[in-house]
Structure 1
Amino acid sequence: MNKSNRGPSDQTIVSGSDFLQLNIRDAPVGRRSDWLAEQLRLAIADRRLPIGSKLPATRVLAVELRVSRGVVTEAYQRLIEDGQAVGRGRNGTIVVAAPAAPPEAPQARPVASPPPGELFAAVPGADVFDSMRATPARIDLSPGTPDLAAFPRSAWLRAERSALASLSASDLGYGDPRGTPALRHAIANWLARNRAIRVDPNDILIVAGTAQTLSLLGQVLRDHGISAVAVEDPGSLGARQHLHNQRLDTPPVRVDSQGVRVDVLRDVAARAVLLTPAHQFPTGVVLSGARRRELMAWASESDGLIIEDDYDAEHRYDRPPVPALRSVLPDHVCYAGSVSKLLAPALRIGWVLVPPKYRDALVAAKRFADLGNAALPQLVLAQLMESGEMERQLRLLRTRHRRRRDTMVDAIRTHIPDAEVHGAAAGLHLMISFDAEFADTDLAAAALARGVKVQPLSWHSQHSPRPGLVLGYAASAPTAIIEGVAILGDVLRHLL
């Protein structure tokens, strides 16, 4: 077997939870319960776990950490004995008290291996790109779409009824353009639990997805005298389209196996850079700890702005969680997230955390754009986040997406054995590349003629890359994935 084509089943499964970014490898041998209890106490003290928040079920956290359920149960029991939590039977374990004087937050330390858009105009090939994207296909393996059939309709309806029942007449008027207080509070808690980001709810701006974040931010940066935003290469063509639409240049910065080349970024005439550090699009690489430190130095020395598209951060299968850049460098990172990959793109709900320097201007841009997102979907989403339904949805999606990822990797091994697979440890897509000379656009066009839609790698690169394809697997049934990859293999043989 080609070593470069090893799939996730050949890799070591690592233990970690998005909840508080816990990694059991950090626990001293023989003292896992002590370590876990201490991590929970620290999270309560620094308000990442506010009073009233519910801890994950012991069974769920034990599975994520790959420890016995007794380890988690014992840690929870210590919090209960300390008076910081209380067990409420089927309602779970609830945080009920915090220390009177929380200790000073520990200094953030660089992480050895972090993980990470959502988007698609004046870009070469944009007319072909938009035309092919709009063309229906019997089997659609385009990247960026989750399993939409898994949308939690029943949970959404329950939350919607609850939100309507408590809705006051004044809630139906024009509200705060930053978003409803309930959703901003829920997102602050979600980010603290799952992305190690501590933020005041008042500093969160609700937007219509990451696409609107880029459009609004483009206006603000241009008004602040910034005319260029460096982008990863390869990197999302759609993101470049949004920035170009705001008349911003997008100089490319090469990506290698450790992520963006910060040494190249230093030579680029741009005071801002757009990154997908948790799961780079489209290669799937994770920004390394060394590169993170270089990037922090660049931002501090040049007063640079890092636009962090936290792309696919939650969807990981074979590696531990990694904190967001925003969690270690808040004054220089504009953080963008959304529910497009967790629930559905159609909801058009996202959030952005902006450094104070740009915050008022971005809120003003949002107000003039649309006066703020629709309130009712925000209130429904807030209930899903606070009730634990979002975590349940994420666990469901991980199971389904992992199964489809494995199906696609196996199908590639069978039908396209010479392809090199990249970025399979996380996300909703993977990338394959070929050590051959042909136009990947020809391969994509021929596949579309056979009813299979994919994206050529060259669409997402400003330089001439090796030919390749970007393949999404989350939205297709396993049978469709197998058939689609088989057709790709047949088309490729004819092309070569």
Structure 2
Amino acid sequence: MAEYWSTLDVDLHLAVDPASGRRVGLEQALREAIRDGRLGAGTRLPSTRTLAAELGLARGTVSAAYDQLVAEGHLVATRGSGTRVAELGTQGAGNRSPANATATAGVSALGEPTGSPQRLAHNLRPGTPDLSHFPRAAWLRAARRAVNAAPNEAFGYGDPRGRIELRRALAEYLGRARGVRTDAERIIIVSGAVQGLALLAQVLGGTFAMEDPYIPLFHEVVRSHGAQVAPLPVDDDGARVDLLRGPDFDGAGTAVVTPSHQYPIGSTLHPARRQALVEWARAGRRVIVEDDYDGEFRYDRQPVGAVQGMAPERTVYLGTASKTLGPAVRLAWLVLPEHLVGPLTEAKRHADHQSESLGQLTLAEFIASHDYDRHIRAARLRYRRRRDLLAERLHTRAGRPAAGFALGGIAAGLHALVRLEPAGMTEAEVLKRAAEFDLDLEGLGDLWHTPPANTLASSAARPQGIVVGFGSPTEAAYPRALDALVRTLSWR
């Protein structure tokens, strides 16, 4: 079996079997490349002269092979346009395009595939911003400026903590916008909140007190990287930090909390509880991990400053670009107490050495130019309008006073909690009803550390509810998704 490479705009590996004859071998190699999808529909093949020269074949041999595949319907030859792979050429029983693969999968609160059999027409699941508003033009301008100004060493291996340009920009921005007290030397850039939690679990170990309900994946990440999880109850004033001094949390050395906008309940940690949390951490030389995933988005009052500003020596601040820009940016940051900088830097080095640098340079320029501030201000206004429309529609429920549920957690963030009343529909009934209206929602029941086995397990301490993500749909799709939500909740 002889192997050759052909350049068609990109390199293509062809295995031409000389035992079958040059023409037949080329036909078989091209046919196989079309069938297995390496030559996609519409791909333009090189001229017979070019391919013959590259493969060391006679031009007539290549022409004959092309003619045979045109006759079979694998190729289409058009005068003046050359020879291309036919549209039917990649449609085999074993092939499935990426677009079709995506269209049949659901997404989780983090925007990850869930394996659901199909994607519903309306999406109000939480976890992502409106990706159609990613600031493409401003991001491209920032990337161009950043790459042009970058020193040569920026394109090589670098500091595991991340590019100094981004760490400096973040130190300035976080201090100004979120009240975080830090400098560039105490910031580590990571590839998302998941990696940040994984590194913290490796370094800190022991038991992590983690809010309940919360994102189940985060619980799993902490456990899979060597730490234990103790579920910390949440109410309308945020995490029950008073329980941290009780027997259930005797061994807990770390508490992971979402003080600005608890996920998914939506409450803000009460000032007295903030102080109690800081005192707990200081008393036992413990660590607070502050997950500030959407702290920039507040609508009814001034933003609540980060807990980190109250106790920078005991708090790890975890921030991310996933909600402000989009998960595809794959950049998050850990602002660390001084004593954790060395251990976390080594853990990051061993995990992947460093996060990619070009995106870091771009984000640094995006922040330094204040394009980031302008983007967040525009997004805040857009999401507030959506929040207000959601509240208005659910308050009246298509002209009738709302009953059977209460809307909460709407002072901030990109999601709201529809808390179901005992006299109304159950969570399972709402989700079933939503599917009938082609609406994708997330139930609160899936977010508990130990989901209730049945509806009888639900109580005031463990309510039933629906988490509505008003950030995910496009501007055009959002009103239709709200219509489906209103119909879902208006059956009684």
Q: What TM-score comes out, normalization by structure 1 length?
A: 0.70
Any conservation in 1 of the 2:202–2:227 contact (CA below 8 Å)?
Answer: no
Residue-by-residue CA offset, 1:288-315 (whole Å, 9 max, x unaligned): 1111111111111122211100121100
User: Residue 241 of structure 1: CA displacement?
Assistant: 2.5
Residue-by-residue CA offset, 1:319-350 (whole Å, 9 max, x unaligned): 11221111110111111001111111100011
Alignment partner, residue 158 of structure 2: 175
Is 1:470 the counterpart of 2:467? The answer is: yes
Is 1:453 the counterpart of 2:437? The answer is: no
Q: For 1:137, which of 120, 127, 132 is the aligned residue?
A: 120
For 1:374 and 1:279, locate their aligned partners in 2 and report how far apart those are by CA, in whole Å: 29
Q: For 1:265, which of 234, 238, 244 is the aligned residue?
A: 244
Any conservation in 2 of the 1:407–1:478 contact (CA below 8 Å)?
Answer: no
For 2:163 and 2:114, locate their aligned partners in 1 and report how far apart those are by CA, in whole Å: 34
Aligned residue for 1:280, secondary structure, equals coil
Alignment partner, residue 240 of structure 1: 219
Q: Say if 1:229 and 1:119 are closer, same or farther in 2 by CA, change over 3 A.
A: farther
Any conservation in 2 of the 1:119–1:210 contact (CA below 8 Å)?
Answer: no
Any conservation in 2 of the 1:457–1:467 contact (CA below 8 Å)?
Answer: yes
User: Residue 436 of structure 1: CA displacement?
Assistant: 2.0
Any conservation in 2 of the 1:209–1:348 contact (CA below 8 Å)?
Answer: yes
Listed as ranges, the gaps of 5+ residues in structure 2 are 1-107, 453-457
Q: Among the aligned pairs, what percent are the same residue?
A: 36
Listed as ranges, the gaps of 5+ residues in structure 1 are 1-117, 121-126
For 1:212 and 1:372, locate their aligned partners in 2 and report how far apart those are by CA, in whole Å: 12
Residue-by-residue CA offset, 1:96-138 (whole Å, 9 max, x unaligned): xxxxxxxxxxxxxxxxxxxxxx975xxxxxx9x9345x85221
Larger Rg: 2
The code of the aligned residue for 2:209 comes to: A
User: Residue 487 of structure 1: CA displacement?
Assistant: 2.9
Q: For 1:249, which of 221, 228, 231 is the aligned residue?
A: 228
After superposing the two structures, state which structure 1 stretch, 436-445 or 212-221, moved more: 436-445
After superposing the two structures, state which structure 1 stretch, 413-422 or 147-156, moved more: 413-422
Is 1:275 the counterpart of 2:254? The answer is: no
Alignment partner, residue 408 of structure 1: 390
CA RMSD of superposed structures (Å): 2.2
Residue-by-residue CA offset, 1:223-271 (whole Å, 9 max, x unaligned): xxx1x21111222223222223224332222212221112212112312
Any conservation in 1 of the 2:109–2:125 contact (CA below 8 Å)?
Answer: no
User: Residue 139 of structure 1: CA displacement?
Assistant: 1.1
Q: How do 1:432-447 and structure 2 match up within 5 A?
A: 432-436=418-422, 439-447=426-434
Any conservation in 2 of the 1:441–1:458 contact (CA below 8 Å)?
Answer: no
Matched residue pairs, number?
366
Structure number with the higher strand fraction is: 2
For 1:319 and 1:351, locate their aligned partners in 2 and report how far apart those are by CA, in whole Å: 26
For 1:478 and 1:153, locate their aligned partners in 2 and report how far apart those are by CA, in whole Å: 17
The code of the aligned residue for 2:394 comes to: I
Alignment partner, residue 361 of structure 2: 379
Aligned residue for 2:229, secondary structure, equals coil
Aligned residue for 1:424, secondary structure, equals coil
Q: For 1:335, which of 308, 311, 317 is the aligned residue?
A: 317
Q: Say if 1:247 and 1:442 are closer, same or farther in 2 by CA, change over 3 A.
A: farther
Residue-by-residue CA offset, 1:418-458 (whole Å, 9 max, x unaligned): 22011111100100111126542453244235321111011
Any conservation in 1 of the 2:232–2:240 contact (CA below 8 Å)?
Answer: yes
The code of the aligned residue for 2:422 comes to: A
Residue-by-residue CA offset, 1:133-159 (whole Å, 9 max, x unaligned): x85221111112112111111111111
Any conservation in 2 of the 1:244–1:250 contact (CA below 8 Å)?
Answer: yes
Alignment partner, residue 143 of structure 2: 160
User: Residue 475 of structure 1: CA displacement?
Assistant: 2.3
Highest RCO, 1 vs 2 (Cα 8 Å, sep ≥ 6):
1
Any conservation in 2 of the 1:119–1:211 contact (CA below 8 Å)?
Answer: no
For 2:420 and 2:294, locate their aligned partners in 1 and report how far apart those are by CA, in whole Å: 25
